[in-house]
C-alpha cells in the first residue's frame, strides 16, 4: 500500500466506495464521476502506478482482469457491449496513479470513442 494513494486508501477501507465486486486480486467500484450509466473501475489490490510499471509477474493479474471484464459487463446488464479504457500517464489523461481499468456502458457509446 502507498499511503498517499487514493485507491490504496479505498482498498484498505480508509475511504468509502460503492463496491460491486472484490476478490484476492482486485476490487471493483463505481466511478464517483460517471461518464456513462454504468461506469466501474477495476483496480488491482497491488499498487501499480500504470501500464508503464507492469512486469512479467503481473501477467496473471492482467489476464484475470481481462477475463473479469465481460463477466462484470454481463452482471451490469450490458448485453449490447461495453467500453474499456486504461489511461496511462498525464498525457493519456491519467489522474489517479494507481493502475485501473474503466468499464463503461449502458447508452450512447457509439463510434471510435475518441
Binding interface with Zn ion (CB under 5 A): 2, 5, 7-8, 47, 98
For residue 97, the number of C-alpha atoms closer than 13 Å in the C-beta half-sphere is: 10
Binding mask 17-46 vs ligand AMP (x if CB under 6 A, - otherwise)? x-----------x-xxx-------x-----
In the complex with Zn ion, which residue's Cβ is closer, 27 or 104?
A: 27
Residue 48 CA to residue 72 CA, distance in Å, equals 22
- Report which DSSP code applies to 61: H
CB of 68 to ligand AMP, least distance (A): 18
Cross-strand pairs, 43:
27
H helical segments located in 1-114? 6-11, 59-75
Q: List the one residue from 69, 87, 106, 109 that touches ligand AMP (CB under 6 A).
A: 87
Q: By the criterion CB under 6 A, which residues form the site for ligand AMP?
A: 6, 17, 29, 31-33, 41, 87, 93-96
Amino acid at each position: 500500500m502507498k499511503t498517499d494513494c487514493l485507491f490504496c486508501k479505498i482498498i484498505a477501507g480508509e475511504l468509502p466506495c460503492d463496491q460491486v465486486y472484490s476478490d484476492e486480486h482486485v476490487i471493483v467500484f463505481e466511478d464517483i464521476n460517471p461518464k456513462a450509466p454504468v461506469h466501474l473501475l477495476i483496480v488491482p489490490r497491488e499498487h501499480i502506478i500504470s501500464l508503464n510499471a507492469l512486469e512479467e509477474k503481473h501477467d496473471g493479474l492482467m489476464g484475470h482482469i481481462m477475463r473479469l471484464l465481460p463477466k462484470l459487463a454481463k452482471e451490469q446488464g450490458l448485453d449490447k457491449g461495453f467500453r474499456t479504457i486504461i489511461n496511462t500517464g498525464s498525457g493519456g489523461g491519467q489522474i489517479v496513479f494507481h493502475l485501473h481499468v474503466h468499464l463503461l456502458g449502458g447508452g450512447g457509446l457509439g463510434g471510435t470513442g475518441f
